[in-house]
Amino acid sequence: MEEVRRHIESFPCMESHYTRRDTNKKYLAADLNIRKMYTLYKQLCQKENIEAVNELTYRRVFATEYNLSFFVPKKDQCTICTNYESADKEKKALFQKVYTEHIQRKNKCNAEKEKDKERANNDCNFISVSFDLQAILPIIKKCIKSPSLPISEAKKKNLLYFIQKNIISEELEPWYKNLKTANSEEEHVLSDEENIM
């Protein structure tokens, strides 16, 4: 069994970047699966003249002794962490300073976000809004490349509502007002009575 464990542990894996507090699960490359790993294990055993365990035993060790999965959660797309975690020892040594500074910034940002959330819960004159900038950057880039790219009328009204409530800087109001819209009755527009958090 030690050879099975050594083989499973030989695959690079990484922790969940954003959901690390919620789980200790680690993630293997998305192009792997247990069958591929077992095939590679059998090839290694043949090469080293070692008797291989059967696939069921390999799967049992994998499932009961390791908290591994074969995909990176959708939220996990940080290039710095992905590159560092998948790098070999030499490359990790080169990236160490950048990676350490990145983690420090991430921790500081998370602490500031928690403070803002706490303040928003306790201070009715303070609103905290957060969003995944990485997820909306492609939309922003499309808008910059093609200023005529339409958004829904409801989204435009929501943006203008956020400006009115000082959630978004009023300096952006002319830009938002000039955005072209494509009507969508499915969109929902925020009203003053709704909780926007």
Q: Residue 191's pLDDT is what? A: 42
Q: How far apart are CA 95 and CA 80, in angstroms?
A: 9
Contacts of 197 (CB under 8 A, 6+ apart): 120, 127, 128, 129
Q: Give the pLDDT confidence score for residue 170 in this predicted structure.
A: 76
What is the reported pLDDT for 12? 82
The pLDDT assigned to 51 comes to 94
- Expressed in angstroms, the distance from the first to the final Cα of the chain is 51
Q: What is the mean pLDDT of each run of 10 residues along the chain (197 residues)?
A: 92 65 72 91 94 95 91 62 82 89 90 91 85 60 58 76 76 76 48 40
Q: Strand pairing of 13-15 and 68-69?
A: unpaired
Residue 21 amino acid letter: R
Specify the pLDDT at position 129. Answer: 79
Distance from C-alpha of 27 to C-alpha of 35, rounded to nearest angstrom? 16
